[in-house]
Amino acid sequence: MNKVEGQTGESLVRSGAKGRIFDVVFANGTKVCAIIVFLIIVAIMVSLIVGAWPALKKFGPSFIWSTEWNPVTEEFGALVAIYGTIVTSIIAMLIGVPVSFGIAIFITELCPTWLKQPIATAIELLAAIPSIIYGMWGLFVFAPFFADHIEPWISDTLGNLPFIGPLFSGPPLGIGVLTAGIILGIMVIPFMASVFRDLFEVVPPVLKESAYGIGATTWEVIKKIVMPYTKIGVVGAIMLGLGRALGETMAVTFVIGNADRLEESLLMPGNTISSSLANQFTEAVGEIYTSSLIALGLILFLLTFMVLAFAKYLLVRLTLKEGVRT
């Protein structure tokens, strides 16, 4: 009996030692992966700074707020591209967030069981469509329809209103900043809707059933149960969609008009950082021209970083509030 117990003890010791070795290997492996990601980010940042340095040295901080972009005279400024990037992303969020939220709520709370999977599959198929297809559809189908049927009404009605009128005045060209923002909104809807749906589905059914049991309506269940339970994830999903909108290239390049001038009207052509890089990088001649385009990439990198940092800040604040409330 003692011999059996001794063999069992030895096997346990060997098993424990083997497990500790695996733990050390696993911990160091994950640490290496995290360090590699960090090093890649630092390498990208350093390469962008080195490439952009000639332009930053020549133009200084004025590069950010200058509207000039003239390859002939080698005078470059980033304001037009920054403005187009931010405005198109805001338009995309104004369209994408409520529509995505409505789709997710319908699928999880209101949709008949037999219809849930077809709608979910359709949303996933939309997310799988390449961005260049959205751009081609926007240029050849949506832009002509928008110019013929929507933009004249916008210009005649909203264009005559005080304060906001200049934003919606101008000829119906079809392509422009507003068109690019709408296409971006359509593109981010599948991503945010899928994340919203997954978030809403993890809400414990007992919470919703209890609310329904005491007489709560569907809207009250969504407002009082679903949203508080998932609000941290909802903020993350919105920031994910915003990051996609900020960095989108090909679809925007097709429909924004690619004009390097600052226009007050959203109906007029414009430019974004991504579309500027896609259109001009292959034809950039000279150190300053190339460096200015790399500087645009650096600004986009920093802009995306600030968005993600702000999202992290919001998530931390929401978590702290939940802790205090608890």
pLDDT at 19: 65
For the entire predicted model, the pTM comes to 0.86
How far is the C-alpha of 318 from the C-alpha of 326, rounded, in Å?
Answer: 12
How far is the C-alpha of 20 from the C-alpha of 26, rounded, in Å?
Answer: 10
Cα three-residue angle 160-164-170, rounded to 5 degrees: 55
CB 174, CB 143: distance < 8 Å: yes
19-28 mean pLDDT = 80
Least confident of 55-59, 180-184, 228-232: 228-232
pLDDT at 113: 84
pLDDT at 272: 92
Count CA within 13 A, CB hemisphere, residue 120. Answer: 17
How far is the C-alpha of 172 from the C-alpha of 174, rounded, in Å?
Answer: 6
As beta bridge partners, residue 70 has: 75
Cα–Cα distances in Å, from 245 out to 189, 195, 256, 259? 11, 16, 14, 19
As beta bridge partners, residue 76 has: 69
Q: Where are the alpha helices (H) located in the chain, listed in sequence order? A: 2-59, 62-65, 79-105, 113-128, 131-137, 143-145, 151-157, 177-201, 205-213, 218-221, 227-247, 250-255, 273-280, 287-325
How far is the C-alpha of 246 from the C-alpha of 235, rounded, in Å?
Answer: 16
pLDDT tens column, 282-301: 888 888 999 999 999 999 99
pLDDT at 123: 87
As beta bridge partners, residue 75 has: 70
**Residue 1 binned pLDDT confidence (cut-offs 50, 70, 90):** very low
213-231 mean pLDDT = 87
How far is the C-alpha of 89 from the C-alpha of 270, rounded, in Å?
Answer: 13
pLDDT at 170: 84
pLDDT tens column, 243-269: 888 888 888 999 998 888 888 889 999
Residue 14 has pLDDT above 70, yes or no: no
193-204 mean pLDDT = 89
Coil, helix or strand at residue 76: strand
DSSP readout, 129-159?
Answer: S-HHHHHHHIIIIIHHHIIIIIHHHHHHHGG
As a whole number, the mean pLDDT across the chain is: 86
Q: Which amino acid is at 286?
A: G
Least confident of 13-27, 59-73, 107-121: 13-27
